[in-house]
Amino acid sequence: MSDSGRIAKPQAVLFACGLNSIRSPMAMGLFRHMFGKNVYVGSAGVKKGELDPFAVTVMEEVGLDIAKHRPATFEELDEWEGLNFDLIITLSPEAHHKALDLTRTLAADVEYWPTPDPTGVAGNREQMLDAYRAVRDQLMDRIKERFGPSFRSNE
């Protein structure tokens, strides 16, 4: 652990939000792109949603394809591969509460990164896409800030 009491270089990171349809798939795609296969990364939701086409579009704008992502709940992820994560990053209040409840029986740290839900923005297509871009960019900045460029190395 680092001086701040959190895992400096986790082996497996889970991004979680309410529906696993926008924020957590975007975060997973960004993390995987930035850090490759040095760290296992997954995403889950409290409920199962449908992958949002605007999320796919704004990720494609930065050269990342998340179109094959299939939303999953915490329970489905646990059934498929187990919840073997040492760090769960929650992006919504409901995901944070779920993760805290799960960590009563899991040995995982939980970090809360409040991230706005872009579906609440009204307007034309471009205004809506701008809201999704803002979320994407906020997640990218937060991942870089939290893990830094040296995270990729095996030092």
Amino acid at 119: T
Structure token pair of residue 136? 């994407």
3-state SS assignment for residue 88: strand
Average pLDDT over residues 15-22: 96
How far, in Å, CA of 133 to CA of 31, rounded?
A: 16
* C-beta of residue 31 within 8 angstroms of C-beta of residue 57: no
pLDDT digits 0-9 by tens, 31-55: 999 988 889 999 999 999 899 999 9
What number of H helices and E strands is found in the chain?
5, 4
Evaluate whether the domain defined by 12-145 bears CATH number 3.40.140.10: no
Structure token pair of residue 123? 């307007």
pLDDT digits 0-9 by tens, 87-110: 999 999 999 999 999 888 878 899
pLDDT digits 0-9 by tens, 107-127: 889 999 999 999 999 999 999
Label residue 150 left, alpha or beta by phi (over 0 means left) and psi (-120 to 50 means alpha).
Answer: alpha
3-state SS assignment for residue 45: strand
3-state SS assignment for residue 89: strand
pLDDT of residue 155: 36
Residue partners of 86: CB distance under 8 A and separation at least 6: 7, 10, 11, 12, 13, 107, 108, 109
DSSP H helical ranges for 9-155: 23-35, 53-60, 74-81, 93-102, 125-147
